[in-house]
Structure 1
Amino acid sequence: MGASVIRPLTLAALLLLSAGASARADDMPVIKVEMRDGVILPAIIEVPANTRFKLEISNTGQSPVEFESLELKREKALAAGSTSSIVFRTIEAGSYDVFDDFHPDAKAKLVAK
């Protein structure tokens, strides 16, 4: 095959690969969590066990928050009015404590089923 045939085939293969990656990302479950001035909603965050998922965290309050889990070794600080995400490759079935490091009384459970 000449170079003029190989380039379009290579481009087509790259487009197919990127479309597949995009489709996988779109298929990933998204679990929404709201943090607001010392409150985490929902208090029980249900997520799929052994499945890749995205936790979308919105700070709807007036002060900064920090979503944190020592067991999961994850943390994410958010300014007031902002939204961010954490992608989890997989976690085992179980219950994990989460809290707002800036508001010590704000606690929740992340439950993987």
Structure 2
Amino acid sequence: MTSAFRRLIAASMLAGFGAWSAAAQTAPTGAAPAAVAPAYTPTNAAGQIEVVLKDHVFTPSQIRVPAGKRTQLLIKNQDPTADEFDSSALKVEKVVGGNSEGVVRLRELDPGTYPFMGEFNPTTAQGVVIAE
């Protein structure tokens, strides 16, 4: 490869990369940003939010729900021991046996953050419901 050919390739590459760099691209002016709907936690076919308790940890640990709408959580305890879904903020207590499932019914919530925990493993089994 000749040195002139290498310079030509290098110049072409620099010109091409410059056109695609973030600095070369600009956002349209005067356009209002699109409204973004809150990303609520997905539900199953029954309309319940599935929450798995495994190794004494809730997944997901952050649950987003629409404010003002009743919601059901399907707690799937995959641990061999029982635990209690407990939240004074949500005014809910529900014992779910080991390798079992239980449904927690949430009332219509005002916008806000509502912590919950596993009563029998409060240092690891923690989470929050966010009503938006």
Q: Which of the residues 93, 97, 107 maps onto 2:126? A: 107
The answer to whether the Cα contact below 8 Å between 1:28 and 1:53 also exists between their aligned partners in 2 is: no
Q: How does 1:9-48 map to 2 (within 5 A)?
A: 29-48=47-66
Secondary structure at 1:49's aligned position in 2? Answer: coil
2:90 corresponding residue in structure 1? 72
The answer to whether the Cα contact below 8 Å between 2:90 and 2:106 also exists between their aligned partners in 1 is: no
How much is the aligned-residue C-alpha RMSD, in angstroms? 1.7
Displacement of 1:89 after TM fit? Answer: 3.2
1:54-111 deviation digits (Å, cap 9, x = unpaired): 1111101111111110111101001111111122231111111100000021211111
The answer to whether the Cα contact below 8 Å between 1:98 and 1:109 also exists between their aligned partners in 2 is: yes
Displacement of 1:28 after TM fit? Answer: 7.3
1:8 corresponding residue in structure 2? none
Structure with bigger helix share is: 1
1:97 aligned onto 2:115: yes
Question: 1:95, 1:36 → 2: CA distance?
Answer: 23
Max Rg structure: 2
Structure with bigger strand share is: 1
Q: Which has the higher contact order (CA 8 A, sep 6+)?
A: 1
Unpaired stretches in structure 2, ≥5 consecutive residues: 1-44
**One-letter amino acid of the counterpart of residue 97, structure 1:** P
Unpaired stretches in structure 1, ≥5 consecutive residues: 1-26
